[in-house]
Copies of this chain bind each other. A is one copy, B any other.
Amino acid sequence: MRPTLSDVARLASVSVATASRALSNPDLVADGTRRAVREAANSCGYKINLVARSLRIQRTDTLLVLTPEIDNGFYPALLHGIEDAALDLGYTVLVGFTAKSEKHRQSYADLLSNGRVDGMLVMDGGSGVNRFTGPRPDLPTVQVLDRIYAPPVPVVRVDDGEVADLAVRHLSSLGHHRIAHIAGSAAAPHALERRNGFVAAMGRSGLPVEEHLMVSGDGGWEGGLQAMRRLLSLPQRPTAVFCADDALACAAMNVCREQGLRVPEDISLIGANDTQDGQRAYPPLTTVHVPRADIGATAANLLIGLIRGQPGAESDTVLPVELRERATCAPLRAAVAA
């Protein structure tokens, strides 16, 4: 049916070997021959068979990325960063959504051991995934943001303690001292670290951390809503709250509005990650920026380095975060402080 390399070879009156070289390693073949082969290939509409090629060269030039559901605006930027870097180096990316079940995750990870992909980016570490399924760290793997496999497996991430620190310092510098924290999913390592970071940063700023001002925003959007409601029903409510991510902060902001509180006049809100929902909220959310595209690109480059056996693959890369002041934080007003 489809023309194969040997068809081309016959048409050009050369051997398959020469035809192969003429097409994929042009320097090794004489000028006239090359042209003849090219012509023959065009005339019969020859397309290389990548599967056969992969079998022969033992490489697929494909990366697998394990990602949780991507409804939340956080992962797309990571994916784009990955894809961008991968494409530049001649790789294509296969994505596997793993939130559905451990079984699916396993079967995706199997693609790695089964030779269909050359390496794997684990991006679903924050989704409470079973850390014992799937990846075989003996095969090229790099983790993104959440470390769920032990050190020989590299990770590229941000310093979540710093994320919390930036947020707390900003709030504190505005005069706030009754600062609350809405924590992210308990299953996510980074959420835990942000929580711990919050406690540490409060300490460093000489502020008291009150146990009931730290609530769990577990349960996604609904969880965020409930967390904020709990906070606002406290006898002494906080004057500022650091939310573990922008979605949580948006939820918190909605609760404020439904209770007639103005942001930032009556209460300051700060998020983290700098996702689109925060940027487009009203007022736009102050947040700490996490360079997602960079993280993705870095991880992809690292993985490809690993695959190609390049030495010097750092096993823990941490990228810088920074505060993005927008419009949801204001200085503490004397009236409220009282």
Interface residues, chain A, with chain B CB atoms under 8 Å away: 47-52, 54-55, 60, 62, 69-73, 76-77, 79-80, 83-84, 87, 92-97, 100, 104, 107-108, 110-111, 113-116, 221, 247, 250-251, 253-254, 257-258, 276-277, 280, 282
Specify which chain B residues have a CB less than 8 angstroms from the CB of A60 in the assembled complex: 51
Closest 9 CB pairs of A and B: A50-B114, A50-B116, A254-B282, A47-B113, A70-B76, A49-B115, A51-B54, A51-B55, A94-B94
Specify which chain B residues have a CB less than 8 angstroms from the CB of A84 in the assembled complex: 100
Given A100-B84, A253-B282, check contact A92 B108 (CB 8 Å): yes
Specify which chain B residues have a CB less than 8 angstroms from the CB of A250 in the assembled complex: 280
| Most chain B CB neighbours (cut-off 10 Å) among A52, A77, A280 | A280
Nearest-CB residue, chain B, relative to A77: B71
User: Per DSSP, are chain A's interface residues mostly helix, strand or loop, or mixed?
Assistant: helix
Specify which chain B residues have a CB less than 8 angstroms from the CB of A94 in the assembled complex: 62, 92-95
A51-B60, A92-B108, A277-B277 given; name 14 further pairs at CB < 8 Å: A47-B115, A70-B70, A70-B76, A71-B76, A72-B276, A73-B73, A83-B97, A84-B100, A92-B96, A92-B111, A93-B94, A94-B95, A250-B280, A277-B280
Number of copies of chain A assembled together: 2
Given A69-B76, A71-B77, A76-B76, check contact A47 B280 (CB 8 Å): no
Specify which chain B residues have a CB less than 8 angstroms from the CB of A55 in the assembled complex: 49, 51-52, 55
Q: List 19 A-B pairs, Cβ < 8 Å.
A: A47-B114, A48-B114, A50-B111, A51-B60, A52-B55, A52-B115, A55-B55, A62-B94, A70-B70, A70-B76, A71-B76, A72-B276, A79-B97, A87-B104, A93-B95, A94-B95, A251-B280, A257-B282, A258-B282
Nearest CB in chain B: distance from A172 CB, A: 28
- CA A250 – CA B254 in complex, angstroms? 14
Contact B97 A80 (CB under 8 A): yes
- CA A103 – CA B114 in complex, angstroms? 30
- CA A113 – CA B73 in complex, angstroms? 32
